[in-house]
Amino acid sequence: MKLFYVILGATPIGRNIEQHDVFFGIGENLKDLVPDMKKFWPEAKGKIHIDCYQEVQFVDGFEVKIVEKTSESVENHLFFINLGGYQSGKFEELHEQYLMVGQSLAKIIRKVKKTDFYKTMGFPEAVSHIDDKHAVDIDDVFNVNDILPLKMKEKYSIILEKSQIESQKNFTHIGYLAISKLK
């Protein structure tokens, strides 16, 4: 089983421009997750597409393993972070997303503050908003386990093991992909 990190796109009824959301799912292949993606975003009425996806095998020097649900406590957790920021002269909020491994939200916040995006996005007239819960300009931060579809949370656990594998690249597809074209 694999962990998939997917950016979905759609223009739900009543919206003027394409909207995006992130979906995490566990399956043998991406096609297996199509029903879950549609259920995840019901307002899109099944008219969603994939803008990019990744088979998450490695993060921060850790190998990502999917195992049958275990009640054992884990030392490290996989976090998804969506940072928002602004650049002078650009009429939009810019975002950068990260997957990071950490023992706690506090440690993840410290890692996020070291990213180039965090350090360089924003200017005095357009300071990124502050999320009171995290006291840092992060649009969203989640433990990936918490945002998996319920049936996956109940069946699987994400285990992170320090990896000695040299090439720690995740298969990534970037670009429009109609879910009807998945094989």
Residue 129 sits at φ, ψ, to 5 deg, of -65, 155
In this prediction, residue 121 carries a pLDDT of: 84
Confidence of residue 138 (pLDDT cuts 50, 70, 90): low
In this prediction, residue 109 carries a pLDDT of: 86
In this prediction, residue 119 carries a pLDDT of: 83
CA distance 29 to 35: 13
In this prediction, residue 133 carries a pLDDT of: 43
- What stretches of the chain adopt beta strand conformation (E)? 2-10, 19-27, 49-56, 58-59, 62-68, 77-85, 94-102, 138-143, 156-162, 172-178
Stretch 99-127: mean pLDDT: 86
In this prediction, residue 127 carries a pLDDT of: 56
Condensed to tens digits (0 to 9), the pLDDT of residues 45-76 reads: 889 999 999 999 999 999 999 999 988 888 99
Residue type, 158: I
In the chain, DSSP finds a helix count (H) and a strand count (E) of 5, 10
Structure tokens at 68: 């049958």
Higher pLDDT, residue 141 or 103: 103
Stated as kind and residue range, the H or E segment containing 88 is none
Stretch 10-18: mean pLDDT: 91
Confidence of residue 137 (pLDDT cuts 50, 70, 90): low
Q: Residues with Cβ < 8 Å from 90, sequence gap 6 or more?
A: none
Predicted TM-score of the model (pTM): 0.90
In this prediction, residue 77 carries a pLDDT of: 95
On the question of pLDDT at 130 being above 50, the answer is: no
For all residues of the chain together, what is the average pLDDT?
A: 89
Residue with tokens 């429009």: 176
